[in-house]
Structure 1
Amino acid sequence: MLILWLLLLTTLMLHSWLRHKYSYFTKLGIPHLPVSSCSPLGHLRQLLFLRISFGDLFKNIYADPRCSQAKIIGFFVLQTPALMIRDPEIIRLVLIKHFNSFLNRYEAADVGDPMGNLTLPLAKYHNWKESRQCMSQLFTSGRLREVMYPQMLNVVHDLENYLKEKLRNLSERVLPLSRMCQLYTTDVTGNLFYSLDVGGLRQGRSQLLKKTKELFKTNPRKVLDFMSVFFLPKWTKVVGAKVFSEDYAQFMRHLVEDHDEPKKGDLINQLQHFQLSRSSNHYSQHPDFIASQAGIILLAGFETSSALMGFTLYELAKAPETQQRLRQELREAFLGSCTSSISYDTLSTLPYLKMVCLEALRLYPAAAFINRECTSPDSEGFSLKPHVDFVIPRGMPAYISILGLQRDEKYWPDPCRFDPERFAPERLDSIVPMTYIPFGAGPHGCIGSRLGILQLKLGLAHILNLYRVEVCKRTVPEIRFNPKSFMLESQDEIYLRFCKDSPT
């Protein structure tokens, strides 16, 4: 009987404590989403049980009809009060104008996990700044044109041969997209950043791809680690959370150790020079510093870029007139080339290809959501006046649903329709600033955004110059995002019919 009374008392105390915690926004008069005081998970319940994707969760919070007119929405990351920012001008304040008051991302890895803690996305500002400056030198326009593009051409010709081998003498064939796109992006990453001739497209398999896919396989331990890093960063030490599995960490360490005679200026070479020039910086001198950056570059490039290419081909298959217009532009570009490819300058300036890629990134942004932690020098926090009568306290996470923002009918009429005309030159001035930020914005914006777009353009150009893609019986009627993936990834395999054009 005593045990029952103790359980009842504990339950009542927990209920009372949660009700107090969840009354935070009510007391301040801030629009917010209600949450049951019976649940300690806040608004993350579906996510923690892998029933909804990260992108869909934050999009749903952004688009909740109960707060459709609000500039900010209060919600709870477990029991921690958090903000969803919906107003473009406040988004600009947080990401750009007052960056110094939002220096860090909210997520973090424990110092006991150096491979995770050292990575550029998870490093805190004092360490992040120097690493960012170093790695930015890899993505200059000059390097993209003179160094990266010629290497990417080798990979994209392997992509052409991969498709030719799949079709052989057939005029058409239904193919799954994920494997092809993943091999393409890991081949590009290995070639550009590790000076490896990965050859995944030639062989139909890749060690880089295998290790990356193993890391993303879901199990209870990985779910706990990931959720701790993103939503309980102060508990990562207690939980013993690791960003990378030990097997993946060892693979990247060996990759760095075996990096013989690197091409001038690849990622590993660049970071080695950075270490030598920062001999007094304990952060960059850690033995895992280079391996950690090499590891995160592979993950970032693999999942976002491969999924985006698949999504774009899918949308083009469903819009044959749009695809035909793009293919006509590409055929003319290839006919005007003296080689089997097109030049960097030509690819970069094809107007309709650019419009198609921008629209694909609107529907499927590289970052479905981003966040910032309030680090305001003011002890009281950062005031949102005159936009909203609220002060964001230090330490509070502020989220921006890029997926929600870019599918908001307020800014994008008929938002789920694939329509490259939204980005026609004469319509660009009508786009509301900060409502199109597929790679984030401000100093923390994606470092490889230009490379990501270039990789997408090049892959599409070489595929669609040779083949028409069509929907088939196995094509999913709509994309469902995988609840087991942090990035936007299709839950279902995407099948399309690849067709050779009839001889004229």
Structure 2
Amino acid sequence: MLHFIVPVLLLLIFLFIYLHLKKSYSYFRRHRLPYLPASVWTPLGHLRQLLLLHISFGDLFKNIYADERIEAEKLAGFFVFQTPALILRDPEIIRLVLVKDFNRFLNRYEAADAGHDAMGALTLPLAKYHQWRESRLCMSQLFTSGRIKQRMYPLILEVLHDLEQHLERNMCGQAERVLPLSEMCQLYTTDVTGKLFYSWNGAGLRQNQSQLRQQAKQLFKPDLMKLLHFMSIFFLPQWTGWLRAKVFSTPYARFMRQLVSQHTKSESGDDLIDHLQQLQGRRPAKHYVHHEDFIASQAGIFLLAGFETSSALLAFTLYELAKQPRLQQRLRQELHSAFGDSFNLSYETAVKLPYLKMVCLEALRLYPAAAFINRECTQPEGFSLRPRIDFVIPCGMPAYISILGLQRDEKYWPNPLHFNPERFAPQHITQITPMTFIPFGAGPHGCIGSRLGLLQLKLGVAHILKTYRVEFCAQTVPEIRFNPHTFMLESLDELYLHFCRDPL
């Protein structure tokens, strides 16, 4: 009898799972919306390649966006595990979600569980609207043009001096040498982050090592538990409490708490930690900003944002310039005129140099700071897309935007994989379709540090090319592949370039 019952039970369980998946994956067909079908033989929806670490986050959403079956559609459905989700393809609909009707899409879909991971839930990217709004308002005061010019710019110049000295040492007295980019770029961006936000003079470029870089690298080092936590936060936020998922590892969280507790008030009294401590002093005692991990959470997320995004972008930009010597020479000529006999560029000059700006914007087009973003519909009755599309986005449904796909779409960017700064020349920039160039996101949830990030990129490129010409060599990979083990865009292969001393 037992020999008969066990196979029947297994068959019934299998049948139940099959029918459940079949019904789940028929959601968009029932609602008569274009969609990418998912196999009923997997519960992973369209995430299988991502979960198996065969593809990067950026490539996954770019491939969904660019799928030829939906290339004529304004939006289409796909599945995050069994959760119906939307990929937005039309710039006008993207504008509605990110900007015009922002108050109906107040949150990002991903979330940390406040009960078991308060530190993660308090971070600016993951905080829900009631907490996010006030945190954003407070921290945006750190990124005004006046503060960047008067406080941050002189500190960045100090790091740039260290960057030039670091390169000089690595050249070992030679006129030409092949060097890897990742360590140099990461030390540069972590040194900038440490100085600006924590008054931390870690001197990573001077010492060829940085505690901040070491902590960030360790956090991003993949293992099974981190992968499980990360995937649940981004794609199964309703499971984060049950899984005890955490944004920050225990060692990283401990390091950030120590950094905050040992922080000495900066000379100007207005770095990130100072600013947040002042905020705590102005709020009622029961306010969430008084949570013991509030400042450490913001400090932790700012380091990660600067470490991975900015360092990779600088490396990508140098790689593209090495690929096209003519463009590099034009940029170096502009820098030659701008520097003159000075060691530094003035803030006004760095901001306004036209070709440097064009080069950096084109780098951001090909390698956006955010490869994809999402918003969750928060309006209880849903959000109607009529008359554009006969569909109501239900409350709780995530809508994804592949910025990488959008900014590499041939419809908006002819020959999209070709690095061409002329796209951003003054006479051409007005021809760019609105909402097809959003490398830092857009609307109230857009990247808070976008201006600083662009300035950091410009200055890194300028001070490297001031003394050196970069070229492809035998060790340079012919094309960039994105690392499937990291969340942001990062090269899977080390990027090596031939550095030639050639002072302006």
Q: TM-score range by the shorter chain?
A: over 0.9
Q: What percentage of residue pairs aligned between the two structures are identical? A: 67
Residue 405 (structure 1) aligns with: 406
AA matched with 1:236: T
Give, in whole Å, the separation in 2 of the partners of 1:280 and 1:502: 57
Asked if 1:357 corresponds to 2:342, the answer is no
> What are the residue-to-residue correspondences of 1:301-316 with 2, within 5 Å?
301-316=306-321
Residue 147 (structure 2) aligns with: 143
Cα shift at 1:262: 2.2
TM-score by length of 2: 0.98
AA matched with 1:373: E
Residue 437 (structure 1) aligns with: 438
Match of 1:181 among 174, 181, 185: 185
Asked if 1:485 corresponds to 2:486, the answer is yes
Residue 300 (structure 1) aligns with: 305
Is the contact made by 2:265 and 2:274 (CA closer than 8 Å) also made in structure 1? no
1:420-463: CA deviations, max 9, x gaps?
Answer: 00000000110000000000000000000000000000011000
Residue 86 (structure 2) aligns with: 83
Residue 287 (structure 1) aligns with: 292
Residue 159 (structure 2) aligns with: 155
AA matched with 1:391: V
AA matched with 2:202: V
SS at match of 1:418: coil
Q: CA RMSD in A?
A: 0.9
SS at match of 1:168: coil
SS at match of 2:38: coil
Residue 98 (structure 2) aligns with: 95
Extract unaligned runs of 5+ from structure 2.
none
Give, in whole Å, the separation in 2 of the partners of 1:316 and 1:464: 10
Residue 373 (structure 1) aligns with: 376
1:215-252: CA deviations, max 9, x gaps?
Answer: 00000000000000000101100011000001000000
1:461-489: CA deviations, max 9, x gaps?
Answer: 00001000000000000000000000000
Residue 257 (structure 1) aligns with: 261
Residue 71 (structure 1) aligns with: 74
Give, in whole Å, the separation in 1 of the partners of 2:210 and 2:70: 47
Residue 458 (structure 2) aligns with: 457
Give, in whole Å, the separation in 2 of the partners of 1:467 and 1:243: 39
Give, in whole Å, the separation in 2 of the partners of 1:457 and 1:35: 43
Give, in whole Å, the separation in 2 of the partners of 1:81 and 1:409: 27
SS at match of 1:342: coil
Asked if 1:476 corresponds to 2:481, the answer is no
AA matched with 1:34: P
Aligned length: 499
SS at match of 1:153: helix
Cα shift at 1:502: 7.8
Is the contact made by 2:57 and 2:488 (CA closer than 8 Å) also made in structure 1? yes
Cα shift at 1:281: 4.8
Give, in whole Å, the separation in 1 of the partners of 2:95 and 2:466: 39
TM-score by length of 1: 0.98
> What are the residue-to-residue correspondences of 1:8-407 with 2, within 5 Å?
8-111=11-114, 112-263=116-267, 264-335=269-340, 339-376=342-379, 379-407=380-408
SS at match of 1:476: coil
Give, in whole Å, the separation in 1 of the partners of 2:217 and 2:86: 33
AA matched with 2:302: I
Cα shift at 1:59: 0.3
SS at match of 1:430: coil
